[in-house]
């Protein structure tokens, strides 16, 4: 029987090799660039908001398998979510990968958090935490900056 670590590795490799939502949105309402100068990962997150909902989310960039898989999983999970739900997912995910105390998340987000579980193994490798969180930090910057865009660096 396949060990859980192998399953998680397969999920990360699949999202890295075949990223979902890897494209630019033609007219995003929000966007931000993220850069990790320590490893060279770069990502741009594009959002199309309708009211307080994420109607569409995508990314472009280049980076390691962890960074690409994180962006791919993030974009799959966030479509249709409210901004408040996206912020809750970010805080919970960030706490899990850094070993912090995860805030209580509504039951409606439990399946989404479970889908992010393959990435939580990075907490054993502090240098890789920045790879996994870069797309999420760019998302946070995009939500704050709007159509003007922003740049965030993780160091």
Sheet holding 53-62: strands in order across? 53-62, 41-50, 30-36, 151-153
Enter the pTM of the model: 0.92
Catalogue all structural domains in the chain, each as residue range(s) with its CATH number. 4-153 (3.90.1010.10)
**Model pLDDT for residues 71-125, shown as the tens digit of each residue:** 999 999 999 999 999 999 999 999 999 988 888 889 999 999 999 999 998 998 8
Q: Is the pLDDT of residue 147 over 80?
A: no
- Mean residue pLDDT of the chain comes to 92
Predicted confidence band at 152 (pLDDT cuts at 50, 70, 90)?
Answer: confident
Q: Which stretches of 21-107 are assigned E, i.e. beta strand?
A: 30-36, 41-50, 53-62
Distance, in Å, from the CA atom of 89 to the CA atom of 1, rounded to the nearest integer, reads 31
Answer positive or negative: Cα dihedral of 121, 123, 126, 130: positive
Main-chain phi, psi angles of 117, to 5 degrees: -55, -35
User: CB–CB of 58/46 below 8 Å?
Assistant: yes
Which residues lie closer than 8 Å to 87 by C-beta, 6 or more apart? Answer: 140, 143
> What is the structure's pLDDT at 155?
65
């Amino acid at each position: 029987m396949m060990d859980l670590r192998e399953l998680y590795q397969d999920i990360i490799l699949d999202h890295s090799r075949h990223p979902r939502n890897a494209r630019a949105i033609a007219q995003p309402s929000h966007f931000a660039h993220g850069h990790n100068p320590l490893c060279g990962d770069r990502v741009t997150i594009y959002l199309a908001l309708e009211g307080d909902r994420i109607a569409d989310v995508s990314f472009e960039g280049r980076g390691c398998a962890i960074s690409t898989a994180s962006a791919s999983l993030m974009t799959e999970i966030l479509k249709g979510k409210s901004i408040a739900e996206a912020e809750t997912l970010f805080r919970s995910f960030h706490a899990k990968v850094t070993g912090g105390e995860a805030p209580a998340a509504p039951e409606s987000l439990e399946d989404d958090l479970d889908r992010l579980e393959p990435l939580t193994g990075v907490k054993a490798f502090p240098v890789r935490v920045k790879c996994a969180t870069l797309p999420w930090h760019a998302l946070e910057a995009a939500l704050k900056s709007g159509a003007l865009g922003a740049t965030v660096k993780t160091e």
